[in-house]
Amino acid sequence: MNPLMSPGARCALSVNVNKVALLRNTRHLGIPSVLRAAELCLLAGAQGITVHPRPDARHIRTQDVHELAALMKQWPQAEYNIEGNPTQNLMDFVRELRPHQVTFVPDSEDQFTSDHGWNLPADNERLKPLIDECRSLGVRVSLFMDPLPEVMRQVAALGAERIELYTETYASAFGTAREAEVLAGFTATAQAALAAGLGINAGHDLSRDNLTKFLQAVPGVQEVSIGHALIADALELGYAETVRDYQRCIQRAYA
């Protein structure tokens, strides 16, 4: 039982549908439908949908972002989270669509996948006005961060409401001799984030195998955004059963 979660508190599951779009883009047939995938995940109990519309449109395209925004209006209890680099194409989506949350990710345009968090204080000057603009639009800002306890106060000072813990180092250490040491770094970072008044999200390479242990060890996680492993599981189990399985993984952390 995670001691810092109040009884009954639970982490929200936001399904990242990037990889549905990646498969769809390999033919000109419009299938698998990104919109249908999101709808089926929401129907099965997902509390949010995440997209990462990269500048090269390798998976999520502008039309997907807009169509999903319209869908999310039919799901007022669920949240729409748009990820990206605010110095590239992200801010146009924020200004036009005003999602519940925007997650700033310091990716380059041709990056294979997200693989690091922001470098503070070096990035402070670039980030502050963009964070201020999102907040003025009523959009919650989450900064994609490596597990570094010492920079959490800087994140709060920039005006971001949340961090998203970049969890790849945990996922790759899971099940190895380094797991406990790596996990301790996430726990310390989360404690520092909470002390700085920040909310905590987490994501990247989370899966049914490693999710429960992460949530048991890391306090205050309000949202996990999961895409690659979840969509891979859905190819075998279907979206609904997969979402229910991930929700069971979350519930086990607080049992």
Ligand X SMILES: NCC(=O)COP(=O)(O)O
Known binding-site residues for 1-deoxy-D-xylulose 5-phosphate equal 54, 59, 113
Active site residue 100: no
What minimum distance in Å lies between the beta carbon of 123 and ligand X? 18
The residue length of the chain stands at: 255
For residue 62, give the amino acid letter: T
Lookup: tokens for 221: 């996680």
- Tell me whether the omega of the peptide bond preceding residue 32 falls within 30 degrees of 0, making it cis: yes
What minimum distance in Å lies between the beta carbon of 73 and ligand DXP? 23
Write out the H or E segment, with its range, that includes residue 251.
helix 239-254
Window of 32-40, 56-64, 202-210, 233-241 that interacts with ligand X by CB under 6 A: 202-210
Active site residue 52: yes
Q: Does residue 97 contact residue 82 with C-beta atoms inside 8 Å?
A: yes
Q: Tell me the HSE value of 207 on the side-chain side, using a 13 A CA sphere.
A: 15
Which of 62, 63, 87, 113 binds ligand DXP (CB under 6 A)? It is 113
| E strand intervals along the chain | 12-16, 48-51, 79-84, 101-104, 140-145, 162-166, 199-203, 221-226
What minimum distance in Å lies between the beta carbon of 130 and ligand DXP? 17
140: partner contacted, choices ligand DXP, ligand X, none (Cβ within 5-8 A by kind) = none
Known binding-site residues equal 16, 27, 54, 59, 113, 205, 227-228
| Contact flag: residue 114 with ligand DXP (CB under 6 A) | yes
Binding mask 201-230 for ligand DXP (x = CB under 6 A): --xx--------------------x-x---
| Contact flag: residue 170 with ligand DXP (CB under 6 A) | no
Q: Name the active-site residue from 79, 83, 164, 223.
A: 83
Which of 12, 15, 16, 147 binds ligand DXP (CB under 6 A)? It is 16
Q: How far apart are CA 109 and CA 46, in angstroms?
A: 29
CA angle 18, 247, 70 (to 5 degrees): 45
Q: How far apart are CA 159 and CA 154, in angstroms?
A: 9
In a 10 Å sphere around its CB, with 0-12 CB exposed, 13-18 middle and 19+ buried, how is residue 70 labelled?
exposed
Residues 45-74 within binding reach of ligand X (CB under 6 A): 50
Q: Does residue 38 contact residue 49 with C-beta atoms inside 8 Å?
A: yes
| Contact flag: residue 211 with ligand X (CB under 6 A) | no
Residue 46, SS3 per DSSP: coil
Which of 34, 44, 206, 243 binds ligand X (CB under 6 A)? It is 206
Active site residue 66: no
**Binding region for ligand X (CB under 6 A):** 16, 50, 83, 164, 203-206, 225-229
**Binding region for ligand DXP (CB under 6 A):** 16, 18, 52, 54, 83, 105, 113-114, 144, 203-204, 225, 227
Residues acting as catalytic residues: 52, 83, 204
